[in-house]
């Protein structure tokens, strides 16, 4: 079977493609300057990739070709950092400008799409939002706007592909012939990034990864210093609530906790989300630091990290990007893949059904030692209270009991780790390529 072909307008001198529609702006904002992140979903990384690679986008399972050199069917993909802006949409207020990313697509690509030779693919894999955020194809005004733009350019709906990471996306009914494909961006990116750095892995061909496995197993010989690990860089409501709860229940000292250090954006002022007494109490504990004292300049999902914090704590309190009562969204950020790829059980603050979805993928969770019935609760206050109760329960057990429980689920932790690296990612990529390929070749 021939490789899927991705077409590009421009290439660097070293042969790497440049992002399509990179010049498109909405009100001065660059919308398509995403660095060709979609190509990372197709990259086959091995342990010595950094030594062998001479440019960024080598070892791909797809072909990247100049538009004018392609003779067969192909995909013209556009990475966007905001779907709404790509269609000229002001989310608040609910208005449109007379601009869109289609203005930056060449006449050659438009003609190929009109003739069915090209499928235009818009990738919003960073996100997986529901209708509330007005930044998804699920939002009716955006779907209607996309229909209008396709009609305006005489492109059939069946020749357009929309992709994001919302696990509810392809389960919801929409009145459209647009091809809608859900995929797990953050898991694929976590795999790609950690595979480059043996210092962040526990098996493989790298010397460091083998040492890390020995380090992990050697922690059987002693009790770890902390009960839990919890990263909370950006102070969203549920993260603030968690840190306040940990403080109120005198549990901050029992974990490694990061929280909002030097975040000066007025839109993310945690003090506006708590009472004066809670502010006063937390300020006495600040800064809450794990590996970085200054979180103001760190916004990337993946950066090199020191595994020592994972090896010196037993479980992770994972605060996902969302904690809502929305039934039409569920997205896994990199935060949930970090405990899985570091042999840690977890309590997971995210949208309803997150644990259920992980189990559908084949991962094992940690009931009955952790009561995971919170995963079925839509009401966010009740769900949080149930999670808070589980955290308190675990952190008030003798650490010897937590240690015994941790090593009793060693095989479960290994199962999750090896499933991620050996099966899960391969299946995700195969499904994604097959889904796109079936549209291209129909």
| Closest-CA residue to 320 (of 426, 134, 167) | 167
Q: How confident is the model at residue 74 (pLDDT cuts 50, 70, 90)?
A: very high
Whether the Cβ atoms of residue 161 and residue 38 lie closer than 8 Å to each other: no
- Whether residue 158 is predicted with pLDDT greater than 80 in this model: the reply is yes
Q: What is the pLDDT of residue 261?
A: 75
Q: What is the pLDDT of residue 67?
A: 98
Residue 20 burial (C-beta neighbours within 10 Å; 0-12, 13-18, 19+): buried
Residue 213 burial (C-beta neighbours within 10 Å; 0-12, 13-18, 19+): middle
List the domains of the chain with CATH numbers.
Answer: 5-183 (no CATH), 188-424 (3.40.50)
- What are the start-end ranges of the H helices in 197-269? 207-218, 237-248
* Mean pLDDT of all residues in 345-369: 98
DSSP element (H, E) containing 194: helix 185-196
C-alpha–C-alpha distance, residues 320 and 336, integer Å: 7
Residue 90's SS3 state is strand
C-alpha–C-alpha distance, residues 33 and 23, integer Å: 8
Q: What share of the chain in percent tops pLDDT 90? A: 84
Q: What is the pLDDT of residue 295?
A: 54
The length of the chain is: 442
Q: What is the pLDDT of residue 296?
A: 53
Of 32-36, 148-152, 405-409, least confident by mean pLDDT is 32-36
pLDDT in tens, 138-151: 999 999 999 999 99
* Mean pLDDT of all residues in 180-194: 93
Q: What is the mean pLDDT of the chain?
A: 93
Peptide bond into 207 cis (omega under 30): no
Q: What is the pLDDT of residue 429?
A: 95
- Whether residue 106 is predicted with pLDDT greater than 80 in this model: the reply is yes
Whether the Cβ atoms of residue 43 and residue 51 lie closer than 8 Å to each other: no
C-alpha–C-alpha distance, residues 224 and 392, integer Å: 18
- Whether residue 300 is predicted with pLDDT greater than 50 in this model: the reply is no
pLDDT in tens, 107-127: 999 999 999 999 999 999 988
Q: What is the pLDDT of residue 255?
A: 98
Q: What is the pLDDT of residue 181?
A: 97
Q: How confident is the model at residue 170 (pLDDT cuts 50, 70, 90)?
A: confident
C-alpha–C-alpha distance, residues 265 and 268, integer Å: 5
DSSP letters along 91-124, please?
TTTTEE-S--GGGGS-HHHHHHHHTTSEEEEEEE
């Amino acid at each position: 079977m021939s490789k899927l072909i991705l077409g590009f307008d421009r290439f660097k001198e070293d042969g790497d493609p440049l992002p399509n529609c990179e010049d498109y702006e909405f009100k001065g904002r660059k919308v398509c300057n995403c660095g060709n992140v979609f190509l990372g979903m197709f990259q086959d990384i091995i342990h010595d990739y950094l030594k062998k690679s001479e440019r960024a986008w080598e070892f791909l399972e797809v072909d990247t070709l100049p538009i004018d050199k392609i003779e067969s069917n192909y995909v013209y993909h556009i990475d966007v950092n905001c779907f709404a802006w790509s269609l000229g949409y002001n989310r608040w207020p609910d208005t449109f400008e007379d601009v869109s990313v289609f203005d930056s697509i060449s006449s050659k690509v438009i003609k190929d799409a009109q003739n069915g030779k090209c499928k235009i693919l818009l990738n919003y894999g960073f996100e997986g939002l529901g209708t509330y955020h007005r930044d998804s194809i699920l939002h009716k005004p955006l779907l209607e706007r996309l229909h209008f733009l396709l009609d305006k350019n005489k492109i059939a709906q069946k020749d357009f592909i929309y992709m994001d990471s919302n696990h509810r996306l392809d389960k919801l009914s929409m009145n459209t012939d647009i091809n809608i494909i859900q995929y797990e961006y953050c898991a694929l990116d976590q795999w790609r990034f950690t595979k480059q750095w043996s210092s962040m892995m526990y098996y493989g061909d790298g010397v460091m990864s083998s040492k890390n496995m020995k380090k992990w197993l050697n922690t059987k010989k002693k009790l770890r210093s902390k009960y839990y690990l919890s990263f909370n860089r950006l102070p969203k409501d549920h993260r603030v609530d968690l840190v306040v709860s940990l403080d109120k229940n005198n549990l901050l000292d029992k974990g490694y906790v990061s929280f909002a250090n030097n975040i000066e954006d007025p839109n993310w002022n945690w003090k506006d989300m708590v009472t004066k007494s809670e502010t006063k109490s937390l300020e006495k504990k600040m800064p809450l630091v794990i590996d970085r004292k200054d979180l103001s300049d760190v916004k990337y999902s993946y950066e090199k990290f020191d595994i020592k914090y994972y090896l010196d704590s037993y479980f992770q309190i994972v605060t996902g990007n969302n904690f809502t009562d929305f039934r039409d969204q569920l997205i896994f950020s990199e935060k949930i893949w970090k405990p899985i790829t570091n042999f840690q059980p977890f309590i997971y603050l995210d949208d309803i059904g997150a644990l259920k979805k992980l189990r559908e993928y084949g991962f094992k969770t940690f009931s009955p030692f952790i009561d995971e019935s919170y995963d079925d609760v839509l009401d966010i206050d009740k769900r949080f209270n149930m999670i808070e109760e589980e955290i308190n329960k675990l952190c008030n057990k003798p650490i010897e009991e937590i240690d015994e429980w941790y090593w009793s689920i060693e095989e479960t932790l290994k199962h999750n780790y090896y499933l991620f690296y050996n099966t899960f990612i391969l299946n995700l990529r195969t499904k994604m390529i097959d889904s796109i390929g079936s549209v291209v070749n129909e």
